[in-house]
Amino acid sequence: MKVCASRIRRFLDELAEFNATPGQGITRMSYSPQAHAARAWLCQQMEQAGLQVREDAIGNVIGTLPGTRADLPSVMIGSHFDTVPHGGAFDGAAGVIMALEIATLFNEQGLSPHYPLEVVALVEEEGASFERGLLASSAMAGHISSQMLESLHDSTGISAAQRMSEAGYAPRDVSSVVRTPESLKAFIELHIEQGPVLEQTSTDIGIVDVVVGMTQLSVTLTGKAGHAGTTPMDRRQDALLAASHIISQVGDFARQAGDATVATVGKLRVHPNGANVIPHQVVFSVDIRSRDERKLRQVIDQTREAINQQANQGITAAVEQTLYIAPTPMASEIVHSLEQQCDRLGYSRRTMVSGAGHDAMVFAGLAPTGLIFVPSRDGLSHHPDEWTDAEQIAKGVEVIFHTVKAMTEAKNHD
């Protein structure tokens, strides 16, 4: 068996062609014309690999190699094919191509699995379209309703449901994408690290044992607008000043918690946003992550208390928790299998915590799940210069191929 690095490189290059911003990174939003073309390409490649291909009600592409027993649960592999605006060609795509390469190897070698093998290319992991990440995996886990798709909107105010309908999908039938624990034997994802550790330590493979827990808060502070020159300082209800007191503390809360806990304020909207007007409303995001759920909740509580303190200063506050996911351990038996394959193949490895959210963390609620990382050059991701050598991806593919082959009990045709 030989994983083909040049084929992986070609697959990645071809997928990167479906891009709304040539020369400025990769932009492939989930229901854009570029995503539509990418789906057609993915369907074609999956069919050439001998898979039975379908698209589900929200636009995920699923290819199946049936097992000798139709009633057995599937081993599912893959990742997402959407991007952030002006992102890179490897985030998500590397995992989709991993799955496509493994399906191709099964086909080339005439391998017949006992358990079905499913290859998935998932939509809207990034949340760049509707500010709701992990959408496809969450839908498969039964966490997304048709009403939720009506309530999620893009930057132009159009709902996720409408975007899906316009692209030819059936958001009202989102319940049809739900997978039961009985239908999945395992889920395994490959992803670029999106950080510098593997490259700096010259390590081939990162094997994730836990994905951090995370929360996202949307905070709205409302004060009172006024003239910047004629309103005395002691008579102001300045929403931006109140926000600054909160924002300046969020990072300190995370540092005090330790254990790789992090907190970020990444979005800030000021109204009316005039140079000579006291801001009457500020809306900002708070993203908090930790591998320790107790510390995650601690920083959430401290942030809420800081918000409440400002609300006592003539400012009203509203906090919406838009996302909460507890720290998610990967399945120990899959971690062990991946470690064994690394050692057998002679690839260096290290155990890692994933600080980023991945579809694997949602699938972990459905089935035993594994996640591996391959090195990112200079640790860059969500950036046009994002890069991982095809030869490094090939090592990860080889590790997962042998793991999946054993899991499906695949054998050569007689």
Listed in sequence order, the residues at least 6 apart from 149 whose beta carbon sits closer than 8 Å to its beta carbon are: 58, 159, 160, 161, 164, 171, 174
| Residue type for position 211 | V
| 363 Cβ neighbours under 8 A, 6+ residues apart | 76, 137, 140, 141, 184, 187, 189, 369
Pairing mode of beta strands 369-374, 52-55: unpaired
For residue 414, pLDDT beyond 50: no
What DSSP element (H or E) covers 327? none
Determine the average pLDDT of the residues in 36-58: 99
What is the average pLDDT across 14-18?
Answer: 99
Q: Tell me the backbone φ, ψ of residue 281, rounded to 5 degrees.
A: -150, 140
pLDDT digits (tens, 9 = 90+) for 249-294: 999 999 999 988 999 999 999 999 999 999 999 999 999 999 999 9
Taking the domain 213-325, which CATH number applies?
3.30.70.360
Classified by CATH at the fold level, domain 5-211+327-412 comes out as Aminopeptidase (3.40.630)
* Strand ranges for 326-392 from DSSP E: 328-329, 349-354, 369-374
Residue intervals of the chain classified under CATH 3.30.70.360 are 213-325
Q: Where in the chain is the domain with CATH 3.40.630.10?
A: 5-211+327-412
% of the chain residues with pLDDT over 90: 94
Which range has the worst mean pLDDT, 107-116, 200-209, 237-246, 312-321? Answer: 312-321
Q: Please provide the distance, in angstroms rounded to a whole number, between the alpha carbons at the two ends of the chain.
A: 18
Mean pLDDT of 335-363: 97
Which residues share a beta bridge with 219?
284, 319
Q: How many Cβ atoms sit within 10 Å of the Cβ of residue 44?
A: 11
Average pLDDT over residues 352-361: 94
